[in-house]
Amino acid sequence: MKKRDFPFPGVLIANRGEIALRILRTVKRLGLKASVVYHGADRDAPAVHAADEAVEIIGKTPVAAYLDGAQIIAAAKKTGAGAIHPGYGFLSENAGFARAVETAGLVFVGPTPDAIQLMGDKVRARRFVSERGFPVAPSAIEDDDPKTFIERARAVGAPLLIKPSAGGGGKGMRIVRDMTLLEQEIAAARSEGERYFGDGRLYAERYVERPRHIEVQVLGDAHGQVLHLYERECSIQRRFQKIIEETPSPALTPQLRTRICEVAASIAREAKYRNAGTVEFIFGQGEFYFLEMNTRLQVEHPVTEMITGLDLVEEQLRVAAGLKLRLTQENVPRLGHAIELRLYAESPARGFVPTTGKVLALHWPEGEGVRVDAGIAKGQSITSAFDPMLAKLVLHGKTRAEAIARGRAALKHLVLLGCETNAAFLARVLADPLFEAGDVHTGYLDEMGALAQEPPVTEEEKTKLLAAAALAMRAVRTAADNINPLHAALGAWRN
């Protein structure tokens, strides 16, 4: 595809970190001008230096700057971009922003505002899906009758999952097993919903114990064609945040895979969905229920790219340009197995609390079947201003076992000094027999809490570490290199 095939001369990337850099590379490969916005906290980020043009935006907080749609639209006009790609998070699922982009005469690289409003709102999406006969777990929706919400939620029964109607990423979710705590948990979920999304509306659904989280990548164009790009397993999570994703799911038989993927595509088709999106399901005991739809590109999209050979950002840009999908369902490739490991600046042993620091040394793993999507560089400061995800290690192999082996080797060759990360924790998960067997569920990490703890250091290891630390000190190295004058006078004499 060539530059002249697009109705816009460039794309403004309204995001940061690894996703900004990942989108930027595709935009430049297609011959389009790649521009980014950035807050001062990201001034030294790789995406800012790699962009053809970078526009600084301001806000009371760094996150507030990336949520300022008016500034972003102004930046797109300033750069002459013609199109805005929101990445994921921030304004990517904001129907008001998508509509404002179109009103400004720009192209929004994503679904239509109406589709975001329908499918991006969990309550509306569930009602839409249920009315069309697709499987949805028993639930109580606050909007149906706010005065009776607590009573109806109690009637669904325990265990109960309370969720905000807007947003995602696990924010505001509560599992209630003791119904005497229901009102307390509803108040807490409402407070978080208002804080993170400016929307305190809730709904409650039956919580499936030890479920698996299966999602299906869908892609639609403006000409009515919708297809799926197979499923992804996202069951390795903590606090509803995904850590490891893979495709294909080790839990699905070929028959179940066909069924769940066709249901996902049918849901998108019913919604007249355009561009990239993900239909998510809870799966257990051979049954699956619609969970939600993410009306954007997902963090874990690289695993789909690894098995299909497609560039999903390019597909998004083609759809945004009004072009038809190049593939039909019958000729979507699927080769091998892919796993994504999310590298976070956090301390698993201390309850996964975020960590900060300056990147003192950095070396990414390389090799066959290894892909790294990162947005940091040596010398950059890792702060608490944003989500702690630093990079994604994506591994591909002919089999799941080969992909796991490449993941373990990649983690051994990863070097990132300056702030604590979850790299060693990821390696322990990959080596766990249950993970190797594919016997996981969304509560796996809670049950396997020992994986978060660092193994004890032996006396031999402690001695080596102390010696290495001592030799790293300038004073010790200087003393070791300092030759006594009497010995120096001997010159090159040898006995």
Name the region of 369 (left: φ>0; alpha: ψ -120 to 50; beta: rest).
left
Q: Hey, which of 26-35, 135-144, 279-288 has the most confident mean pLDDT?
A: 26-35
Q: Using one digit for the tens of pLDDT, what is the confidence trace for 280-301?
A: 999 988 889 999 999 999 999 9
How many angstroms separate the Cα of 293 from the Cα of each of 79, 90, 199, 273, 325?
A: 32, 16, 18, 11, 21
pTM: 0.86
User: Confidence band (pLDDT; 50, 70, 90) for 46?
Assistant: very high
Mean pLDDT (whole number) for 55-79: 97
Using DSSP's 3-state secondary structure scheme, residue 475 falls into helix
| Sequence letter at residue 103 | T
- Domain 212-452 - what CATH class? alpha beta
Cis, peptide link before residue 164, omega less than 30° from 0: no
Question: Is residue 310 over pLDDT 90?
Answer: yes
Least Cα distance to 366 among 394, 389, 339 occurs for 394
Count of other CB atoms within 10 angstroms of residue 446: 11
The CATH H-level (homologous superfamily) assignment of domain 138-206 is ATP-grasp fold, A domain (3.30.1490.20)
Helix axes of 312-320 and 17-29: crossing angle, nearest 10 degrees: 70
Q: At which residue do the structure tokens 């304004």 appear?
A: 91
Tell me: pLDDT of 370 over 80.
yes
| pLDDT score at 168 | 64
Q: Just give the CATH number of 3-109.
A: 3.40.50.20
Nearest C-alpha neighbor of 296 from the set 415, 160, 169, 447: 169
What tokens does 460 get? 């031999």
Is the alpha carbon torsion for 72, 75, 79, 80 positive or negative?
Answer: positive
The confidence score (pLDDT) of residue 201 equals 87
State the span(s) of the chain assigned CATH 3.40.50.20: 3-109
* 219 DSSP β-pair partners: 227, 276
Q: Is the pLDDT of residue 305 over 90?
A: yes
Task: Tell me what pLDDT residue 240 has.
Answer: 80
Q: What percent of the chain has pLDDT over 90?
A: 78
- Distance between CA atoms of residues 311 and 309, nearest Å: 7
Residue 495 above 60 pLDDT? no
Domain with CATH 3.30.470.20 in the chain: 212-452
Measuring CA to CA, how many Å separate 487 from each of 482, 490, 493? 11, 5, 10
Query: What count of other Cβ atoms lies within 10 Å of the Cβ of residue 299?
Result: 23
Inter-residue contact 204 to 140 (CB < 8 Å): yes
Reduced to 3 states (helix: H, G, I; strand: E, B; else coil), residue 329 is: helix
Q: Where in the chain is the domain with CATH 3.30.1490.20?
A: 138-206
pLDDT one-digit tens code per residue, 158-173: 889 998 887 666 778 8
In the three-class reduction of DSSP (H, G, I as helix; E, B as strand; rest coil), residue 278 is classed as strand
pLDDT-wise least confident of 217-231, 400-414, 442-456: 442-456
Query: Poorest-confidence range of 4-18, 341-355, 464-478?
Result: 464-478
